[in-house]
Structure 1
Amino acid sequence: MTLAQFLDVLRRRWPSVLVVTVLATATAIGLSFVQTPQYRASSEVFVSVAAGSSVTDLSQGNNFSAARVKSYTALAVTPRVLGAAAQQLGLPRGTDLSSVVSATSTNDTVIIVVSATSASPTRAAAIANAVTEQLVGVVDEVERSAQKNALVHLSVFQPAHAPSVPYAPRASVTIAVGLLAGLALGLAQAVLREVLDTRLRSFEALRRLSGASVLGEFAVDESVAKHPLVSSEHSYSTRAESFRQLRTHLTYTNLDGASQSIVVTSATPGEGKSSTAVNLALMLAQNGSRVLLVDADLRRPTMGTYLGIESRVGLSTVLTRQVQLDDAVQVVGADNPLHVLAAGRVPPNPSELLSSSRMVDLVRQLEASYDYVIVDAPPILPVTDPAVLGAICSGVLLVASVNGQTKRADFVAAELTIRQVGARVLGLVVNRLPAQRRAKTYYNYEPSAPVSESPRRSSRARRSPEETR
């Protein structure tokens, strides 16, 4: 996964990362308050040797004591020392102090630090002092058994005192660890969900799946379900401007300048192909082009509902020679009218009708009469109709929804099907983009009334001709 892909995942899944991080931090805070405070008390023991008569004797004595320190440090946590300390404190027989007592020494020093941990600060100090006393006695006994006068002597340099601040838990450290662990877990689950997720959920994921050009981008708009058509009242809205951009981008796909027959389809139902087809046709007609919108979805026709026209006479009745083409074409709008060929009656054999030679001849006839022929086709994966139409027409405009409705494999299969039949993919229309991706566009960029160049010129414009003479 590249850095750009990781940032894209983080942008889309930051709520789950935040939730996991907050839960882990809250858990760490809870543990800090639930855990029993532990206190640590420490005493220090100094290891010395008998004084020598010369400098050489002193040097050898220091080296000897430093060598002995490691042995005495290990001796402090032996059962003999710890058992004697427990007995000295009056603890129950068999009490094991090895889990609460530790002994350490620093290199190049002759000091041994004996530490004890307990829930009671007084008890911790008592255990440390008792172990220290027993260690001093055991060492003195061992050294005297080897020779009459012991060369090494242990003395308590710093006795243990009851601490006032608990050693653990350390709230700041625990919370910091919980925060870092939660952040790591949150990022890990986000990446894992992205790897396991088979849905198409971002513009970047779509671009990685296809090399086709993106001709149009449309953000999520909740009002589309109730008002799928771009009306004249909202001709300066973001959605209307997006369709104008799609119209402009389409002109660059027409390299020879001839009329175009464009199939609008999608991989699966519900991705917005029909609303895209009808709004694109309306925008092309508003630009002064001769446009015919054909409802080629002979299974679930929708143009009659969108445009409020008669849908029982249309493509199917023309292909079966029940009605002449001129009689089946309907006109929508007065200024810059849009011509519409509805689906007609739903036939029992839509695939056979659309793949017939009669359909090929009809498309050629329509291309000779119109600048643009926009064909609203069914989804490409459930049926073969769009693939057949794509091979007949100039190209295919593939609509893809990136809100998680479509699987990535379905989109790849749809594009592959189009190319396998020899159809040309004109480009992609990305639908239901997150709103923040379109944040830099001009929302409702409507024209305003002209402003006078200066107050003096404005006052002159209001004066009558006689007054200016």
Structure 2
Amino acid sequence: MGYVSVPGGDNMGSALAGDNLAKSKATSYASFASSRPVAESVIGALKLDIAPDELLTQVTVTAAKDTAQIKIEASADTAQQAQALANAWVVSLAEQVKILESAPNPADPNAVPLDSIIKVVPLGDAPLPSAPSSPNKKMTLVIGALAGLIAGVAYALIRNHLDRRIRSVEMVEKATGASVVGTIPVDERLRGSRHVVESGVIDHSSTEGYAMSEALRELRTNLHYMNVDNPPRVIVITSSVPGEGKSTIAANLAVTIAATGQRVILIDGDLRRPVVAEFFGLAGGGGLTDILSGQATLNDVLQVYRPVPTLAVLGAGRIPPNPSELLGSMAMKRLLERLSEDAVVLIDAPPLLPVTDAAILARSTDGALVVAGAGKTSIDELVKAVASLEKVSAPLLGAVLNRVPTTGSQAAGYGYYGKGYYYHQDAAKGKKAARPKPARPARAAAERVESYTDEGLDREAAFDELLNPNTGEAPTRRVTRSR
């Protein structure tokens, strides 16, 4: 640091004038200190191998307001080099000011110039820096953290705004105008395999699969109460795009409805990629296409699902070259009318967006259920799927959200609050006193299946009347559900 010195006079006025002059000079000297002459003087004094203009970038000179002080800040590779540079700069500035302010002798122009009364006096050596000024690690960390936080929040907001995947029931109902008639939770038993997980039996000894069972029963109830006097008898189950779990819901919903003792027929209406027979472990080969083409009768290809005798499965049959024409034919309409007289008919249909099969089928039924994967299907895909049904005037029964999360904040968006576990606990408490020994519940499914044959009936007897409509004979016994 340097100080501009101006000798004062013998009186107060002279001293005040000298102080004002020193303050004024300090401002001008601060500007002069950033000039090439001072930099060249420092380079010569310290014997530096650097250009004056480059050295000037390492030094900052300021004049303190309303004072005669000049502050010099220098930066270098080491603390010692920065200290030496600051000290040399003050000394060089003092020398240049001395030369600048010296006046020639008017009596002898060739004589040595007279020394100026205004001087820059160094105020001691610059202190040795204890820490580097750059990089400032603490400041860098703070700035980095703030920048990361701002970027993260901005990204989350933008992604949330642009993310069109289904996140709540309200999102579906607002965008499509369709009611959500079922929310099916995630079930770990369905990962990586195609099989039926429902048995139609309530087992209070285990919580595994209880949430899904309750959700399917709720869906079954909602379908029934859409029209109490005339509930839907022929239902198409489809989706907007592949991979949303429509076939899984169709298979397990069929078991759930059949568990009430009502006859159910599940038809594989996906004549492009049939999978229903695989779900139930039934034989492939003949099926729907063989009936429609007149190559087989219903009695030849309809297969009763033995664990639940009131459920029969009609496979797809041979894959035809014209699926849409077959599904929209009069033969298909007559078949559905015949089957719906004695049973509830569920049809696993292809997705709506890739092909038109499901929309064609839905026109000949009581309506369609559109399955959407929670957190996977975009709302735009679902809206297009619903619009494709509206274009052909096909009735829409509602939407079913599949793979709904059961825990965390996302579960609340779908109206799911772990209710399956809640009801399971209530049911378990209500039957605690009358609960049989632990070994009994595991046999419940087998005992229920046996109850159909205890009356001397074949498992296929539930569909004798349907398969042989021209006999005119009523079945000798009626299948009842044991409780």
Q: Using the TM superposition, give the Cα deviation of residue 377 of structure 1 relative to its aligned residue in structure 2, in angstroms.
A: 0.8
Q: Does 1:427 align with 2:373?
A: no
> How far did residue 126 of structure 1 move?
1.3
Report the counterpart of residue 446 of structure 2 in structure 1: none
Given that residues 220 and 434 in structure 1 are in contact (C-alpha distance below 8 angstroms), is that contact kept between their aligned partners in structure 2? no
| Partner residue of 1:70 out of 22, 27, 32 | 27
Contact 1:213 1:427 in 2 (8 A): yes
| Contact kept in structure 2, 1:286 and 1:336, CA below 8 Å | no
Q: Is the 8 A contact 2:258 2:264 kept in 1?
A: yes
Query: Post-superposition shift, 1:346?
Result: 3.6
* Separation in 1, partners of 2:263, 2:5: 108
Of the three residues 250, 266, 287, the one matched with 2:239 is 266
Identical positions, percent:
34
1:216-227 → structure 2 map (5 Å cutoff): 216-219=183-186, 221=188, 223-226=190-193
TM-score by length of 1: 0.74
Q: Secondary structure at the match of 1:97?
A: helix
Q: Distance in 2 between matches of 1:361 and 1:70?
A: 103
The normalised TM-score by structure 2 is 0.72
Instruction: Check 1:58–1:244 CA distance in 2 against 1; reply closer, same or farther (3 A cut).
Output: farther
Q: Show the counterpart of 1:318.
A: 291
Gapped regions of structure 1 (runs ≥ 5): 1-43, 454-469
8 Å contact from structure 2 (residues 187, 212) kept in 1: no
State the AA in 2 paired with 1:225.
G
Distance in 2 between residues matched to 1:175 and 1:107, nearest whole Å: 33
Q: CA RMSD in A?
A: 3.7
SS in 2 for 1:397: strand
> What's the CA shift for 1:286?
2.0
Amino acid at match of 2:45: Q
From the CA coordinates, give the structure whose radius of gyration is larger: 2
Distance 1:94 1:313 in 2: 93
Give the aligned partner of residue 418 of structure 2: 441
User: Aligned partners of 2:309 and 2:214: how far apart in 1?
Assistant: 18
Q: Residue 45 of structure 2 is aligned with which of 65, 88, 95?
A: 88
For residues 76-129 of structure 1, the C-alpha deviation after alignment (integer angstroms, 9 at most, x for no partner) is 111111111221122247554212111122323322111111122222111111
**SS at 1:263 equivalent:** strand
Partner of 1:160: 126
- Matches of 2:63 and 2:216, distance apart in 1: 78
For the 8 Å contact 1:203–1:433, the answer to whether it is kept is no
1:342 to 305, 309, 315: 315
Q: Does the aligned pair in 2 maintain the 1:293–1:375 contact within 8 Å?
A: yes
Q: Which residue of 2 aligns with 1:137?
A: 95
Taking a change above 3 Å as real, the CA distance of residues 68 and 272 of structure 1, as seen in their structure-2 partners, is same
Alignment match, 2:465 = none
- What residue is the counterpart of 1:418 in the other structure? 389
Aligned residues: 407
Answer yes or no: is 1:104 the counterpart of 2:56: no
Partner of residue 71 from structure 2, selected from 113, 135, 154:
113
Distance 1:452 1:195, change over 3 A: closer
Aligned counterparts, 1:206-221, within 5 A: 207=172, 210-214=176-180, 215-219=182-186, 221=188
Aligned residues of 1:296 and 1:378 also touching (Cα < 8 A)? yes
3-state secondary structure, aligned to 1:217 = strand
1:228 equivalenced with 2:224 (yes/no): no
1:220, 1:435 within 8 Å by CA — same for their partners in 2? no
Greater shift, 284-293 or 308-317, is seen at 308-317
CA distance 1:281–1:452, change in 2 (3 Å): closer
Deviation at 1:402, TM superposition (A): 4.8
1:379-427, Cα deviation, whole Å (9 max, x unpaired):
22332210101122122111223565x6766544333222211123322
SS of structure 2 residue aligned to 1:369: coil
Contact 2:277/2:284 (<8 A) preserved: yes
> Aligned-pair distance for 1:131?
0.7
User: Can you give the 5+ residue segments of structure 2 that lack an aligned partner in the other structure?
Assistant: 106-113, 435-483
Q: Given the alignment, which residue of 299, 305, 309 partners 2:278?
A: 305
